[in-house]
Copies of this chain bind each other. A is one copy, B any other.
Amino acid sequence: MRDVAIIGIGHTKFGRSEKKTNIELQNEAAMMAILDAGIDKKDIEAVFQGAVFPGFEEGQVMPGIFSNSDLGLSPVPCTRFEGACASATVAARDAFMYVASGRYDIVMACGTERALIMGTPYATRTFAMGGHSTTEGPAGLTFPGVFAMAARLYSRNYDIPFDRTLECMAHVSIKNHKHGALNPKSQFYKKLGNLTVDDVRNSRMICDPLTLLDCCPFSDGAAAIIICAADIARKYTDTPVYMLGNGQGAGGPLARIEDITKPPSRIYSAREAFKMAGLSPDDIEILELHDCFTSAELIALECMGFFDWGEAAEATAEGQTEIGGKIPTNMDGGLIGKGHPVGATGVAQIVSVVEQMRGDAPKGNQVDPVPEYGMTDTLGGDFGTLVHHILGRSKRRK
């Protein structure tokens, strides 16, 4: 397979999109990426789009097709991927494959969603469709419930006092909101940047023990990246970012997962990505992971191998996931601090890693020195779809 590079990025402001449809949000992110790459849009040979609930949001099941038409890209193909909250990063993985295989030279991967506009009751019901409809939905189990159970299980598995577990989880929220407040693209830009453990613990209870500040918000937004064959990347940019490895895994009903703090789908997917890239967690300098809830960040850090089982909680409280720590995590604010437009999140995470590797991250969020290797982790459903991408400033080691 050929080496593949990212040469353009686009990312709308996350938040509430009253007036723009998914098609219009997608158009906005796509144009940013096309202009950033400096390509002629006619060079784009295919589009790969993530979107989860456009049918429920707008009665529009193929928004990418109509975005293609608005952008003047049709009749080149546009494929929609539905992997719940991992939809866009699955799209990016397929986009990689079409270029790596030699089928196409230049493609776009993107994603869009209007989850906030749905309103919390409707969004909560539709999001729950990412779980198992015959054993989890009827039990009233929604995602806050899953990660609330995970927090209790984490505390018990590792004999960490429950209050201490919640304190450590609160540090995930404090960190990610601190970085989200510095990110102009964030839903909470200039907000919630100076939280304390008490602020997090005392915010409104959502699903015991998860409070409002333990949870990511519903968001509207879109993101896009332009991907091309590595051998032509420098025609367009002096700072190509190479797609070195990726992995994907599938889960199943929670009832079949022995320990939801160690979901096999995430462990499998991360290992596939490291194997493909020929790298290990020790090589990664920046991480954008799926912190849908504070407990989810701890689980992800351990499943990917950045910390031993049961050690991510204290490590987070010690600042090891901050700039200067072992592995700076969610420097863009993550889902908690930046927002979570589900169908766009995976590509938005890649955009943030590329910004870091260009040295273009918002002031206060930029890792120094500019990282050589970065990674994304995206979760769809309750461990149903897991995808990882490893990015680097230099090509794959042969």
Contacts and interface: CB of A to CB of B under 8 A. Distances in A.
B100 A60 contact: no
A123 interface: no
A250 B97 contact: no
Kindly report how many copies of this chain are found in the complex they form together.
2
Contact of A101 (B52, B58, B97, B267): B97
A264 B73 CA distance: 12
Question: Which interface residue of A53, A61, A98 has the most chain B CB atoms within 10 A?
Answer: A61
Nearest to A80: B82
A61 B70 CA distance: 27
Contacts of A79: 81, 83, 90, 94, 248, 385
A309 to B, nearest CB: 18
A75 B130 contact: no
Interface string A112-129: 000000000000001011
B101 A65 contact: no
A62 B82 contact: yes
A221 B259 CA distance: 34
Interface string A83-120: 11000001000100110111100000000000000000
A310 B250 CA distance: 48
A45 to B, nearest CB: 10
Contacts of A137: 59
B62 A380 contact: yes
A132 B61 CA distance: 9
Contacts of A172: none
A362 interface: no
A139 interface: no
A21 interface: yes
A53 B62 CA distance: 12
Given A61-B381, A62-B381, A66-B252, 18 more contacts: A1-B101, A1-B102, A1-B103, A55-B126, A59-B137, A62-B82, A62-B130, A65-B384, A65-B385, A68-B252, A69-B256, A74-B265, A75-B267, A75-B269, A77-B248, A81-B81, A94-B94, A94-B97
18 contacts: A1-B103, A46-B248, A53-B61, A55-B56, A59-B133, A61-B82, A62-B381, A65-B381, A65-B385, A66-B132, A69-B252, A69-B256, A74-B252, A74-B264, A79-B83, A79-B94, A79-B385, A100-B101
